[in-house]
C-alpha cells in the first residue's frame, strides 16, 4: 500500500488540490441562509371575513373550504382553527409531492366555490417552508413624524426600494398607525328620518367613485375624461347626500359626526422603548441572508442620502433580528 501511494503521489496530490479548489468554490458560491432549505408537505390557508361570529364563520367558510380542498390528490389530513372573523386550515400531504402544484390545486379548488363563500372573505394560500418566516428585521423610530406619517414613509417610500433588492421575496411592514375617517351616527336622528346604517353605507360608497364620462379628440390625440368624487377631508364627507326627495336633502352631517382618527390597533411595535414601525424581510428560497443584509443596508444608506434634501427621515433604523 505504501509503495502504491509513493508511486501515485503526484496523482493523489493533484486530486487533493482539485478537492480543495472545489471546496473553496462551494464555500463562496453556496447561499448562506438563516434556515435550512427544507420543503415540508404542508399548505396553510388563511381566511379573513371581518367581524363575522365564529359559528357563522365555521358554517359559511371553514366547512365549505375543507370539503373543496379534500378533492386535491395526495392529502393526508386536514385540520382547521376557526375564530371570530378568521380561520386557518392546515393541509398535510404525502412526502415527495410537488408542493408548488399542490398549492395551485388547493387555490384552484377554493376559487371554484368562491361565489358561495361570503362576499367579504379574503384568503391566502401558502406553502409551509422556512422562507415564509422573516430572516431580518429593522425598526424605524422618529421624534418628529407621527405614527401615521412614519408608516406612510415606510409603506410607500422605503418598502419599494428594499423590495427591489436581489434575493428579497417580500417586505412586511408592521406597527405605526393608519389614518381613517370615522362616521359617528346619531341613532335617534337616524331613526327619526326613517333611515338605517345600510343607507349611510350605500350613500358613502356611491359618493366616492372614479369613472370615465367620455372621450375628446383634439390635435390627433384622444383624451379620456374622468370624474373623481373621492373625499379629501372630513367636511366633504359630512356634505354627502344621504337622501333626497320632495322634502329636501338629508346630509350626512344632519345624522352623524365625521372625525379624523386612526384605525384600531391590534398589535403594538416598540423599539428601544419607543413606538416604532417594523420591517420584516422575507427572502427567496435560493437567496443568501448575508448578501441580502448587506444589500439592504447599502440601499437604505443610498436612498436616505438621495432624498435627504426633500424628506425629513425618521431618526433611527435599527436592526432587531
Distances (CA, A) of 42 to 79, 100, 112, 205, 248: 11, 11, 21, 40, 60
Examine the domain organization and report whether 174 and 270 are in the same domain: yes
Examine the domain organization and report whether 161 and 298 are in the same domain: yes
Task: For the chain, give the number of residues.
Answer: 321
Residue 21 lies in a domain: no
SS3 230: coil
CATH code, domain with 192: 3.30.2090.10
Q: Is 231 exposed, middle or buried (0-12, 13-18, 19+ CB in 10 A)?
A: middle
- Its domain, for residue 187, covers 181-259
pLDDT tens track for 155-202: 888 888 888 888 888 888 888 888 899 999 988 888 888 888 888 888
Pairing state between β 241-245 and 248-251: antiparallel
Residue 248 lies in a domain: yes
Residue 76 lies in a domain: yes
Examine the domain organization and report whether 151 and 99 are in the same domain: no
pLDDT tens track for 195-246: 888 888 888 888 888 888 888 888 888 988 888 888 888 898 999 888 888 8
Of 214, 237, 259, the position where a domain reaches its end is 259
- Cell readout for 59 is 358554517
Unique residue bearing C-alpha cell 379629501: 232
Q: What is the DSSP letter of 130?
A: G
Residue 33 lies in a domain: no
CATH code, domain with 84: 3.30.70.1430
Examine the domain organization and report whether 204 and 244 are in the same domain: yes
Residue 237: Cβ within 10 Å count: 21
**Total number of domains constituting the chain:** 3
Region of 307 on the Ramachandran plot (φ > 0 left; ψ -120 to 50 alpha; else beta): alpha
Whether the predicted model's global pTM rises above the 0.75 cut: no
CA distance 244 to 209: 19
Examine the domain organization and report whether 301 and 271 are in the same domain: yes
Amino acid at each position: 500500500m505504501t509503495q502504491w501511494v509513493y508511486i501515485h503521489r503526484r496523482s493523489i496530490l493533484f486530486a487533493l488540490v482539485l478537492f480543495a479548489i472545489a471546496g473553496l468554490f462551494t464555500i463562496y458560491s453556496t447561499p448562506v441562509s438563516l434556515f435550512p432549505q427544507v420543503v415540508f408537505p404542508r399548505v396553510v390557508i388563511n381566511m379573513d371575513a371581518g367581524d363575522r361570529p365564529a359559528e357563522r364563520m365555521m358554517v359559511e367558510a371553514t366547512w365549505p373550504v375543507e370539503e373543496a380542498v379534500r378533492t386535491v390528490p395526495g392529502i393526508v389530513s386536514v385540520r382547521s382553527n376557526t375564530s371570530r372573523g378568521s380561520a386557518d386550515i392546515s393541509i398535510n400531504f404525502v412526502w415527495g409531492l410537488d408542493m408548488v402544484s399542490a398549492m395551485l390545486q388547493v387555490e384552484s379548488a377554493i376559487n371554484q366555490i368562491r361565489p358561495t363563500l361570503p362576499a367579504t372573505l379574503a384568503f391566502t394560500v401558502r406553502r409551509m417552508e422556512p422562507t415564509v418566516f422573516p430572516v431580518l428585521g429593522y425598526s424605524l423610530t422618529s421624534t418628529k413624524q407621527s405614527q401615521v406619517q412614519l408608516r406612510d414613509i415606510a409603506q410607500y417610500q422605503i418598502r419599494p426600494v428594499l423590495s427591489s433588492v436581489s434575493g428579497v421575496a417580500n417586505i412586511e411592514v408592521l406597527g405605526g398607525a393608519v389614518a381613517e375617517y370615522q362616521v359617528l351616527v346619531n341613532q335617534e336622528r337616524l331613526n327619526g328620518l326613517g333611515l338605517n346604517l345600510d343607507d349611510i353605507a350605500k350613500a358613502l360608497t356611491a359618493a366616492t367613485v372614479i369613472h370615465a364620462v367620455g372621450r375628446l379628440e383634439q390635435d390627433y390625440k384622444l383624451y379620456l375624461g374622468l370624474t373623481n368624487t373621492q373625499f379629501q377631508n372630513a367636511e366633504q364627507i359630512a356634505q354627502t347626500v344621504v337622501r333626497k326627495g320632495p322634502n329636501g336633502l338629508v346630509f350626512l352631517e344632519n345624522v352623524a359626526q365625521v372625525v379624523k382618527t386612526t384605525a384600531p390597533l391590534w398589535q403594538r411595535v416598540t423599539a428601544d422603548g419607543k413606538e416604532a414601525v417594523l420591517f420584516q424581510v422575507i427572502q427567496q428560497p435560493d437567496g443568501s441572508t448575508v448578501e441580502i443584509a448587506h444589500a439592504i443596508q447599502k440601499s437604505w444608506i443610498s436612498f436616505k442620502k438621495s432624498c435627504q434634501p426633500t424628506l425629513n427621515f425618521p431618526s433611527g433604523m435599527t436592526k432587531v433580528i
